[in-house]
Amino acid sequence: MSSEPAPEGILSVSALTGLIKGTLAEAFPAVWVKGELTGFKRYGSGHLYFSLKDEGAVLGCVMWKGRTGRLAFEPQDGLEVEAFGSISVYEPQGRYQLVVDEMRPAGVGALLLALEELKQRLAGEGLFDAARKQPLPRYPARIGLVTSPAGAAVRDLVKVLRARWPSIGIVLAPVRVQGEGAAAEIAAAIERFNRWGRVDLLIVGRGGGSLEDLWAFNEEPVVRAIAASRLPVVSAVGHEVDVTLADFAADVRAATPSNAAEIAVPVRAEVTGRVEQWRGRLGRAVRQGVGERRRLLDKLTSQYGFRRQQDVIGMQQQRVDEWLDRLHDAIRYVLERGRERLDEIVSRYGLREWPRTLEARHEELDDMREQLDGAVVQATLARRTRLAALADRMRALSPRLVLERGYCLVHAPDGSLVRASDTLAVGELLTIEFARGEADTRVEQVRPGGQDGT
């Protein structure tokens, strides 16, 4: 009995290859494969052709041009990678291959997955909450650095800090920033600084590198140490594009170590400029206050006439005394606040090179206060002297002084003054006003006088 298949069951090579292709496509629609790149070629069409190999086999691969834009690295022979795609058959040669949709360096995928899981867990504990972030001190006197003593990062930090504020205190805790044991050293240094407590803030970081190089700043001990720090922490890990879990836990994230130094301390020249501005504002405020009170005194003086001259003078003198007391209190308060502010800046920054300059500023402020006091007193005395002179002139013009010499004033029944006898009639009732008191009288006889009053 023959074992040969019937002619109607015979397949062509193409048909068999097509069946194999369909079977493989159904069996392996999406698969991750790990291996070493070999025979890598980039064609002018933009497609990539290469193979993945390990100790026991070689797998041909192709990555079409439309997928190559997703690559975050430059493939090259000898690099171990992880490729994701589907199994297909290249029919003209009857060989199967992996059509790659995505590819990454081997090991990165596992790291990123672990990193995301840790990030979610720590975020759930509230370690990254904005509410627990601490503000940075505005004028730190001493800064702690947690970084490698040999890297470019520590040189950049010290250079920028000294340039911005030459007398700033810098304390370095030298640690490894990559490799096994680096995370433990970084966390321990942060804890030591917190126990010591003689710095105002911490800068924790290193220069740029690969994901593996920066991995110590993604490890849980470092993240928890930063989150638990009582001292404010600025993270300065890598470049601006590098983001680690330490950045999420820190109170402030800096793009680079140099940027961290710029965030931590102000520029001394700007601070001294603001001090000079405050001094100028103080002088202008005092001069403006004195000018306003002078204008108010002039206004009050010009509002009153002869009838209440003594009350006006007394009221003005009382108000002048009150204004002097208030002005002295205001000047004293502003000067004391200015001194306290200067003393605070000096004490916080340890400006050893400034004592003579600040002492001179204090003396200038004392001289200014004495000059202002003298100016106010002189202005007040001048006003009082002027008021006294005006009062004497008003008293000299007052008719009351004439009455004191024995003269009197005669008032008609309507209250008007009688200036000539020919305006009177016999029997008319008049009122005579003396220096002290009045009397009523009646006209018995009228004797006209001459043109010269005789």
CATH of the domain at 83: 2.40.50.140
* pLDDT tens-digit readout, 291-350: 887 787 767 666 654 445 555 566 666 777 777 777 777 777 877 887 787 777 766 655
With respect to residue 1, please indicate whether it lies within any of the assigned structural domains: no
Which of 106, 138, 156 terminates a domain? The answer is 106
In the predicted model, is pLDDT for residue 177 greater than 80? Answer: yes
Residue 418 CB contacts under 8 Å (≥ 6 apart), including other chains: 410, 411, 412, 424, 430
> What is the mean predicted confidence (pLDDT) over 9-32?
75
pLDDT value of residue 6: 47
Nearest CA to 37 out of 90, 96, 105 is that of 105
Do both 373 and 415 map to the same domain?
A: no
CA distance 106 to 298: 89
With respect to residue 8, please indicate whether it lies within any of the assigned structural domains: no
With respect to residue 40, please indicate whether it lies within any of the assigned structural domains: yes
Half-sphere exposure of 149 (CA within 13 A, CB side): 6
Do both 218 and 290 map to the same domain?
A: no
With respect to residue 3, please indicate whether it lies within any of the assigned structural domains: no
pLDDT value of residue 440: 85
Which of 264, 291, 307 terminates a domain? The answer is 264
Average pLDDT, the chain: 83
Residue 434 lies in domain: 399-454
> What is the mean predicted confidence (pLDDT) over 372-377?
79
Do both 199 and 301 map to the same domain?
A: no
pLDDT value of residue 89: 85
CA distance 213 to 191: 23
pLDDT band at 33 (very low <50, low <70, confident <90, very high): very high
> What is the mean predicted confidence (pLDDT) over 22-26?
73
pLDDT value of residue 384: 84
Name which of 9-23, 138-152, 213-227, 268-282 the model is least confident about: 9-23
With respect to residue 6, please indicate whether it lies within any of the assigned structural domains: no
What is the domain-level CATH number for residue 375?
1.10.132
Determine the distance from the C-alpha atom of residue 127 to the mean position of all C-alpha atoms in its chain, rounded to a whole number.
Answer: 24
Do both 257 and 152 map to the same domain?
A: yes
In the predicted model, is pLDDT for residue 2 greater than 60? Answer: no
Do both 359 and 310 map to the same domain?
A: yes
Do both 211 and 148 map to the same domain?
A: yes
Which of 54, 82, 106 terminates a domain? The answer is 106
In the predicted model, is pLDDT for residue 352 greater than 70? Answer: no
> What is the mean predicted confidence (pLDDT) over 139-150?
96
Do both 227 and 273 map to the same domain?
A: no
CB 206 within 8 A of CB 177: yes
Name which of 15-24, 128-137, 169-178, 409-418 the model is least confident about: 15-24
Count of the separate structural domains present in the chain? 4
With respect to residue 355, please indicate whether it lies within any of the assigned structural domains: yes
pLDDT value of residue 1: 41
String of DSSP letters for 222-271: HHHHHHH-SS-EEEEESSTT---HHHHHSSEE-SSHHHHHHHHS--HHHH
With respect to residue 413, please indicate whether it lies within any of the assigned structural domains: yes
pLDDT band at 8 (very low <50, low <70, confident <90, very high): low
What is the domain-level CATH number for residue 163?
3.40.50.2300
Do both 249 and 224 map to the same domain?
A: yes
C-alpha distances (whole Å) from 252 to each of 32, 243, 443 are 39, 13, 103
* pLDDT tens-digit readout, 183-231: 999 999 999 999 999 999 999 999 988 888 899 999 999 999 999 999 9
In the predicted model, is pLDDT for residue 289 greater than 60? Answer: yes
| DSSP designation for 44 | T
356 vs 181, which has greater pLDDT?
Answer: 181
pLDDT value of residue 5: 53
Do both 285 and 355 map to the same domain?
A: yes
CB 17 within 8 A of CB 94: yes
Do both 227 and 156 map to the same domain?
A: yes
Do both 255 and 295 map to the same domain?
A: no
With respect to residue 9, please indicate whether it lies within any of the assigned structural domains: no
Do both 286 and 326 map to the same domain?
A: yes
In the predicted model, is pLDDT for residue 368 greater than 90? Answer: no
